[in-house]
């Protein structure tokens, strides 16, 4: 049996008639950047996220960077972000000229706690970028309270957690703004790069909209130096179609996650991901911590099962941050995770049989 890690072609075929129709409409309209498709997508996305404003962007990395710029983060400022994440949530801080300050994550949730952030706060700290990693919401209520107490801005990186919701509220709505990636493999993905920023702060939304469009809302307005990071009309049209399917795709992800939990819970060599509030995890990825990880991956590969590592190297130990001279003792959890994590296949176009097949393979590898 083959178990692909992702199957974007299968996703396209499942909704092909609608997607083709939407694409044709845009192609015939002659309007390919911004315009009606983008406006209606933004309105619908904002509504589903439960916020007043959504600003379509070229990608989430730009969204995080523009959020820092709009929140006036300057060289000399410090911004705290998890040591364990995709590179974007750190590199945007460095690109801003600010100092990236890493906080280690929790070994069970993979997310950063308010306590770990608090230990890194100095008089120079100006903002926090919290990441809702793998689809699980971070402890955003406690992080927000900490930000309020220290007068810090809070940016939520929601790139892996579309429509997650905890007792603190919907993802992306607790901080000053939330940033989403629509990279094709995300729970809501375009057919190329795309992203979005959401906020209830009208002034912030306007600033981001201008920053992403050469400093203006109209063609010849350049109030300040901006950039070009706009959402394409074709991508917006695709995203609008897919928006109608995300909740059922997420439900399927959760069903498969439940199967993994049920069938692998007794494998002592495997640590399952933390899962408490059901709505607060949308299972973008199903990441376990596994003993003998490389051997396990090789065994699964022989059985036709694709796995990936998210991530092979924790951010403080990346060559890009070698100049900070961190050692594994500085971030012990992240250092351990980079040796143990493995992402099992979990996407809505798999079947229960395939998930059970993966579980049987894991169990037989460990000989349980």
Ligand X SMILES: Cc1ncc(COP(=O)(O)O)c(C=O)c1O
| Residue 157 lies near ligand X (rule: CB under 6 A) | yes
Q: Which is nearer to ligand X, 66 or 358 (CB)?
A: 66
| Residue 111 lies near ligand X (rule: CB under 6 A) | no
Q: Which is nearer to ligand X, 183 or 256 (CB)?
A: 183
| Residue 343 lies near ligand X (rule: CB under 6 A) | no
Q: Which is nearer to ligand X, 11 or 159 (CB)?
A: 159
Give the full edge-to-edge strand order of the sheet including 286-290.
270-271, 286-290, 341-344
Residue 301 CB, nearest distance to ligand X (Å)?
23
Task: Identify residues 126-145 at the interface with ligand X (CB under 6 A).
Answer: 131
Residue 310 CB, nearest distance to ligand X (Å)?
8
Q: Which of 37, 59, 69, 111 binds ligand X (CB under 6 A)?
A: 59
Residue 276 CB, nearest distance to ligand X (Å)?
21
Residue 64 CB, nearest distance to ligand X (Å)?
6
| Residue 125 lies near ligand X (rule: CB under 6 A) | no
| Residue 89 lies near ligand X (rule: CB under 6 A) | yes
Report the length, in residues, of the chain.
368
| Residue 181 lies near ligand X (rule: CB under 6 A) | yes
Q: Which is nearer to ligand X, 11 or 88 (CB)?
A: 88
Site string for ligand X, 18-57 (x = CB under 6 A): ----------------------------------------
Residue 178 CB, nearest distance to ligand X (Å)?
11
Residue 199 CB, nearest distance to ligand X (Å)?
17
Contact residues: ligand X, CB under 6 A: 59-61, 85-86, 88-89, 131, 157, 159-160, 181, 183, 193, 195
């Amino acid at each position: 049996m083959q178990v692909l890690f992702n199957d974007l072609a299968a996703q396209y075929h499942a909704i092909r008639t609608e997607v083709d129709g939407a694409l044709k409409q845009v192609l015939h309209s002659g309007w390919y950047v911004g315009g009606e498709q983008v406006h209606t997508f933004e309105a619908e996305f904002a509504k589903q996220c439960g916020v007043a404003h959504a600003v379509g962007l070229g990608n989430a990395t730009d969204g995080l960077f523009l959020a820092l710029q709009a929140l006036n983060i300057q060289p000399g400022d410090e911004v705290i972000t998890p040591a364990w994440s995709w590179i974007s949530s750190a590199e945007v801080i460095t690109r801003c000229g600010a100092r990236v300050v890493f906080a280690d994550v929790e070994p069970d949730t993979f997310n950063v706690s308010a306590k770990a952030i608090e230990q890194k706060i100095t008089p120079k700290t100006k903002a926090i970028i919290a990441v809702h990693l793998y689809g699980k919401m971070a402890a955003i209520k406690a992080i927000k309270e900490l930000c309020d107490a220290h007068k810090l801005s809070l940016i939520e990186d929601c790139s892996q957690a579309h429509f997650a919701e905890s007792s603190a509220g919907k993802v992306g709505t607790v901080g000053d703004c939330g940033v989403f990636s629509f990279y094709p493999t995300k729970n809501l993905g375009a057919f190329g790069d795309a992203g979005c920023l959401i906020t209830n702060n009208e002034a912030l939304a306007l600033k981001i909209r201008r920053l992403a469009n050469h400093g203006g809302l109209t063609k010849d307005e350049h109030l300040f130096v901006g950039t070009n990071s706009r959402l394409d009309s074709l991508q917006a049209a695709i995203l609008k179609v897919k928006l109608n399917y995300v909740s059922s795709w997420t439900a399927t992800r959760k069903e498969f996650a439940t199967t993994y939990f049920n069938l692998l819970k007794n494998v002592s060599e495997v640590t399952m991901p933390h899962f408490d509030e059901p709505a607060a995890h949308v299972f973008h990825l199903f990441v376990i911590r596994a003993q003998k990880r490389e051997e396990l991956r090789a065994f699964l590969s022989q059985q036709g099962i694709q796995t990936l590592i998210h991530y092979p190297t924790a951010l403080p130990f990346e060559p890009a941050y070698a100049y900070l001279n961190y050692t594994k003792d500085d971030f012990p959890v992240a250092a351990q995770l980079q040796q143990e994590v493995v992402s099992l296949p979990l996407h809505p176009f798999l079947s229960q049989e395939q998930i059970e097949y993966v579980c049987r393979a894991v169990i037989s590898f460990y000989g349980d």
